[in-house]
Structure 1
Amino acid sequence: MTEPRQPEPVAATAPEAGVADAEHRLHPMSWLFVLVAQLRQFIVPLVALLVFGQGDRNGLWPMIGVAVLALLSLWQYFTYRYGMVDDALVVRSGLLERSLRVIPFARIHNVALKQTLLHRLFGVAEVRLESAGGNKPEAEMRVLKLDDALALERLVRQRGRAPDAGVAVAAADGDAVLLQMSLGEVLRLGLVSNRGLILVAAAFGGISQFNAELLPDLFERWGDMLFGWAGEHQFGVVEFALAAVTLVLLVELMLCLLSIALALLQFYGFRLSEHGRRLTVERGLLARWRTSASRRRIQAWTLREGVRHRWLGRQSLEVDTAVAEDHNRHRALREVAPIATPAQCTGLIEYLLPRAQWTALDWRQLPAGSWWRLWLPSWPWVLAATAVLTWNGGSWGPLVLAWLPWSAYKARRRTARAAWALGDEVVAVREGWLRRHWRFAEIDKLQALQLSRNPIDRRCGTATVWLDTAGAGTMAPPLRVRFLPLAEAEALYARLSQELARRPLRW
């Protein structure tokens, strides 16, 4: 596949020459949404001034601050313009200090539309145009009418298409739906996602920042109350065990219900569709997200399967896209199939990566004797925990050593499943036992290769091949082939290097 056509440079004077389409303004109520976003950032100091400044003139400062923010919001509405010039988007802003940005459509990698409940009430949407590099989006429009936002997305989709040489790309009249999640699938996603545990952990961390003594005091009071109640009823060993199991089940039930609620809010009405060679995802119950990206912007793939996935006969498919790294990265196209059957996930991979021949890959297992390399990291923390508990708790400390046989068994199972594959168009790794994942990428999308050897590798005559792609998320598993014999690792590294040298890098 040849390298995408690079856009022609657009002269900054084009808008003045009358080439541009009619310029457009933001929605008349955009100042309200900008004001709300700014108040969100300054809400803590404003509330502090309002609460602690009562009874004197300091109480007026919050109102003055709100008035200033409102004027700035109105200023942005009256000075912000956007229009089209050939194959580029032109954005003007400012009056005293003017800014003119010319953004080629081919440079826009992701179009994200967000609708909160307030947006939906006014029939508007926030639009973000993102590229592969930089810490900020290429353009952020707060806010446009929903019809105007969808029209801008269609325009980027049509004018930003860069087909391969000799390949005709036919624009479909409508979106082709590739996956649509029913309510039952969203509920299953809540059961397997453990998002409730993440939210609770974040809440505990936030509370600890404001009051470090609050959580220990609460746990101490709850412990005294529970053990006091158990002592009054003269609980024995069996009763304590049943009470502990019941408490764990209740906590797990609460976390599951919280995870289901979060899944409903984030993924209700999930739909994956394709228009031409661009993928679009819509999701959300109260707030709606709509994000789209070109298929050629997908850098790597991750297929996940946890224990609960297998109980329900489901898998999850995610992708890494080359978009700007910022605090709003969660809006980028990531979940291609948040939860689906294995057949649906395989069908999506074969449809979106037809040349990868996913089901025909020749998987090569890692050396069976390398299991102890996965077991070795368990020793330091187990020995440290044993020493600490023995020092403080006496005879209970050595019980921690019971973890070592289990970790050895787990390491053997993980090694038995670990494998890698190299096809004509894709390189893939398979790891995990209880929580399994498949990580793969097109060879054309690899950014860098690295052959590394630590002291244990040099002692054992092995090496690890690291494969780097753009847009990898912080939670994505690494794309690497571990514990290979040195000769095999060098052969893999040489072959991939030759393939990258003769193929153009594709974004």
Structure 2
Amino acid sequence: MPGGPTGEEPRQRLHPLSPALHGAKSLVVVIAGLSWSTLSRVGFGWFAAMVVVLALGATVLSLISWYNTGYHVVGRELRVHEGLIWRRTRAIPLERLQAVEVVRPLLAQLTGLAELRLEVVGGGKTEAPLAYLGVAEATALRQRLLAATGRAPETVPPAAGAPAAPAPTERWLHTVRNEDLLVSQLLTPQAFLLPFGLAFVVVQFLSEGSWSFIAVASTLTAMAGVLLQPARRVLDDWSFRLDRDGGALRIRNGLLETRVQTVPLNRVQTVGVTWPLLWRMKGWLRLRLEVAGYSAAEPDDRNRPDRLLPVGDARTGEQIVAEALPGVHLSDLPMTLPPRRARWLRPLSRSAVGAGLDDLVFAARSGLLTRQLTIVPYARIQSVRVTQGPAQRRLRLATVHADTAGGSGAAAHDRDLAEAWELAAELIARSHAARHRR
């Protein structure tokens, strides 16, 4: 592909197999879009012809798109060129790159390819402008971009069937056993309701009294929808591994789609701890993060680096929280309950609600059946609010919110009104002091 001015490196194209992979993905979308009702109306012959024509059209468009797509690094920018009739050039400043992730969906694993996904500070969503590249090419480009941003390179997902090879500077923290991951999904309300959902689908099928291809296919589609959510969670968190590399946490996970994500510790906004009801009998919990610079509105939660621990015991949770928030001890966080008159608003859950100030963080707890704890470092608090509802005003209660950049923050619910204002003033003072110490 021709380059630009003299001295500017030539544009590079994506891998030649990229149109085939995009065409295969389009074929799945086409079949899903046509649905079984279309098959029943037009018959199998016309249905197959429609699929072939639409798939060929999608492949041709993918081929044209591949031919007119290129990328190169110009100075301190990564430029991506695409489009045939409407030409578009995206210039991504390297200084605004928050992360460069190499992701390998199943088709990419089978063909030895990878996607390069970019997380740009302030971006509306995770960008995937380079799909697909050879693994070696993606690795080299990723290392180059990370070197230009001043961050050390990291490993990429391995070839299909091969274990992930950690970088020499990494320190292993924890690996989630796949057996625990499976059991944790069985101990969820969705798993308990799953037999009833499947029974409903089967009863509906049998009541129709029809064993036609359309009836069978529709039944299988409905059953797949019932099974999708718990199965997706297991596949996404399969072989979950957490490592520490300098000032970042490195997360590897996935079975059908393997990925490596990096979480810079200096961008952690909150740490959330969840104790689902059925997990408490095994002493298990789940940890999640909010990270500054990542897209909170990302429609696909797999693109957000919010996983810290899919499932683990209290001791493991204590260790990982201490890694994510140095100096913070999960079991020693101070917690006080709302006043007794808050029982009028929380007759069952008053004892499960609490808040407290640690030396380094603000912690707030809530939830009766599913208990939740949110931990916010003082330096990450952007604003503090005191709110009152009509019932709270009659009971002289208020809720204190500690907001973070682009996140939900934490809230101390139903505090005494005077205590709420004191808590808000203390949070503001500690937030200012923590930011000045950075």
TM-score, normalising length: structure 2: 0.77
Give 1:491 deviation, angstroms: 1.5
Q: Check conservation: 1:111, 1:293, Cα contact below 8 A.
A: no
Structure ranking higher on relative contact order (CA contacts 8 Å, 6+ apart): 1
Q: Check conservation: 1:289, 1:331, Cα contact below 8 A.
A: no
Give distance in 2, aligned partners of 1:151 and 1:58: 44
Residue 218 (1) aligns with residue 204 (2): yes
2:383 paired residue among 430, 444, 448: 448
1:497 paired residue among 414, 428, 434: 428
The aligned amino acid for 1:336 is: L
The aligned amino acid for 1:277 is: G
The aligned amino acid for 1:482 is: H
The aligned amino acid for 1:185 is: D
The aligned amino acid for 1:445 is: R
The answer for the alignment partner of 1:160 in structure 2 is 149
Q: Check conservation: 1:309, 1:315, Cα contact below 8 A.
A: yes
SS at match of 1:340: strand
Residue 94 (1) aligns with residue 83 (2): yes
Give 1:264 deviation, angstroms: 4.3
Q: What are the equivalent positions in structure 2 for 1:263-412 lying under 5 Å apart?
A: 264-322=234-292, 323-324=294-295, 325-356=297-328, 358-375=330-347, 411=348
Q: Deviations over 1:170-190 (max 9, x none)?
A: xx7443222112233323333
The answer for the alignment partner of 2:413 in structure 1 is 482
The aligned amino acid for 1:351 is: E
Q: Deviations over 1:212-256 (max 9, x none)?
A: xx969739969xxxxxxxxxxxxxxxxxxxxxxxxxxxxxxxxxx
Q: 1:436 to 1:54 in 2, by over 3 A?
A: closer
SS at match of 2:174: strand
The answer for the alignment partner of 1:83 in structure 2 is 72
Give distance in 1, aligned partners of 2:386 and 2:312: 36
Name the structure with the higher helix share. Answer: 1
Q: Deviations over 1:124-171 (max 9, x none)?
A: 1223212354443344322122233344444444433479xxxxxxxx
2:98 paired residue among 80, 92, 109: 109
Give 1:73 deviation, angstroms: 0.5
**Structure 2 gaps, min length 5:** 153-166, 209-226
Q: 1:264 to 1:330 in 2, by over 3 A?
A: closer
Q: What are the equivalent positions in structure 2 for 1:8-157 lying under 5 Å apart?
A: 16=5, 18=7, 23-46=11-34, 52-53=41-42, 62-157=51-146
Residue 182 (1) aligns with residue 171 (2): no
TM-score, normalising length: structure 1: 0.68
**Percentage of pairs with the same residue:** 25
Give 1:102 deviation, angstroms: 1.9
The answer for the alignment partner of 1:245 in structure 2 is none
Give 1:74 deviation, angstroms: 0.7
Q: Check conservation: 1:126, 1:141, Cα contact below 8 A.
A: yes
Q: Check conservation: 1:177, 1:274, Cα contact below 8 A.
A: yes
Q: 1:85 to 1:462 in 2, by over 3 A?
A: same
The answer for the alignment partner of 2:393 in structure 1 is 458
Q: 1:306 to 1:357 in 2, by over 3 A?
A: closer
The aligned amino acid for 1:330 is: R
Give distance in 2, aligned partners of 1:107 and 1:25: 24
Name the structure with the higher strand share. Answer: 2
Cα RMSD for the two superposed structures: 3.8
Give 1:302 deviation, angstroms: 0.9
**Structure 1 gaps, min length 5:** 1-13, 164-171, 205-213, 223-256, 376-410
Residue 191 (1) aligns with residue 191 (2): no
